[in-house]
Amino acid sequence: MNRRKFIKGMSAAAAVPVVINGLSVSTLANSPMLSLLESAADCEGHVLVLIQLEGGNDGLNTVIPIDQYSSLSVARSGILIPENKVLPIQGNASLGLHPSMIGMQSLYNDGKLTIVQNVGYPNPDYSHFRSTDIWLTGASSNEVLTNGWLGRYLTLDHPNFPTGYPNTQNPDPLALQVGYVVSPAFMGNNGTMGMAITNPSDFYQLITDSEITPDDSPRNHELGFLRQTARQTNAYSDRIKAAAAAANNLSPLYPAGNKLADQLKIVARLIAGGLETKLYMVNLGGFDTHSAQTDTADTTIGAHANLLKQVSEAIFAFQDDIKRLSVDNRVMGMTFSEFGRRINANGSQGTDHGTAAPMFVFGTSFPGKVIGNNPQIPANTTVNDNLPMGIDFRAVYASILKDWFCVDDVLVDTVMGDDYEYLPFTTGIWELQDQREVLVFPNPFVHSATVYFESIGEELRLEIYNAVGQRIKQIDKTYYGAGEQSIVIDGRDLRPGNYLIRLYGRNTTMTRSVVKINTN
């Protein structure tokens, strides 16, 4: 099945709001993953928790490439974290974390956190709305999809949904989101395949069966009737309440007043309580840091530092909780944001919309590591310079479907619309791949350059990105036999400047920086 036929067979459906005792929900779904998981014992009961950082997170202020510090000090002199304040991570002296991310540092040092560097997509869009849509649907920048990447997978697994659901074999919603609407990522063939809890307080009102407005007014009698009717007719509410009643949060580390932590507490409780939901989505906003990103007197504190502290403390507490609840071996978490920020700071103590940024993947069932190369920061950058993409975000999605949910390669390609490089989250072989010798010569170059590399025998693509993150040249997929190989790049049509060469295939991602110069 090709991409056009697959997408043509899909259609979007609007979510239908329902209220269950103060709990706002949308059209619900079963757990379509279960039939696949039953035949894939290694992935039995696996859960994915997606954390959306809304607004565009500044990756260079989150994961700091220490080996690029001298160039960063020129580009971001007003907001850069002092080098001696950067949190070191075990076994990698080339980068560190923001000083507010002590919890994440501990997770990495314990082998429970993976950092994926330079994640983005070709020809990036700087609009919050459009780029968010791209990330949630898995679309290319030049296409609009009406289905989410997870919804497409679930539709393949259960093409007849929602007819006959829920049922005894699939009693629970597949996807659950803490928020006012269900994410487009969960949009399937005949509508959304997820359930939305509007906020944590509504969740606890649901499971305690208490009312939001207890006063004895005609309006509240009517609301009470609607809530009661919804409770009686919605098959999922009892399942959620039963799961919540079967477990309690055990970690004492959840910080008060942390919105993300409040959401993750719900997720931990439902997983431990036996809910068979496989996908959870939570979110934290405020990352659109155009101004006052850092304190003028101390760059280690400020608006962005507060956000990163919330993320770090919430994830650290959640990981501690699911360990105490004995479910940590089947939970994987992932952070994502619609884009990163520019290399240069702006004139308002902030950063503007950018392109690539790091992602975090966390859990105990795979070794923590760094996937991808550190971003390369030119010695002299302009306000328009960006970080070229090193890893396509859809490669992250595809690899998680393959590794964590045991989805066949052919189905993964069908869901994602193309074959993307495999990122080995559950193994430790990335370092061996990334250490293969890659040489670009001459570098800098005038007219042409040759990429020398060692192939393992596979189909590879070559792409060239400019300083603002746009893909400007590509060589189609070509098979290269095992051994030393080379590709000649004709750069006569390129303007002088900094470029990134990306060579990738199913089992390989290699990136190198190159400079085009003018002899005049």
Give the tens place of pLDDT for each residue, 168-184: 888 888 889 987 788 99
Give 258-311 pLDDT, tens digit per residue.
Answer: 999 999 999 999 999 999 999 999 999 999 999 999 999 999 999 999 999 999
Orientation angle between helical segments 259-272 and 303-324, nearest 10 degrees: 20
345, amino acid identity: A
Burial class of residue 488 in the structure, from the number of CB atoms within 10 Å of its CB (0-12 exposed, 13-18 middle, 19+ buried): exposed
User: For residue range 461-500, what is the model confidence (pLDDT) as tens digits?
Assistant: 898 988 777 888 888 889 999 888 999 999 999 989 888 8
Tell me how far CA of residue 292 lies from CA of 30, 286, 309, 342, in angstroms.
44, 12, 16, 15
Q: What is the mean pLDDT of residues 317-345?
A: 97
Q: Which two tokens stand for residue 105?
A: 């540092």
Share of the chain above pLDDT 70, in %: 82
Which pTM does this prediction carry? 0.81
CB 189 within 8 A of CB 159: yes
Query: Band of the pLDDT at 78, cuts 50, 70, 90?
Result: very high
Where is average pLDDT lowest: 6-20, 135-149, 285-299, 359-373? 6-20
Q: How far apart are CA 298 and CA 78, in angstroms?
A: 10
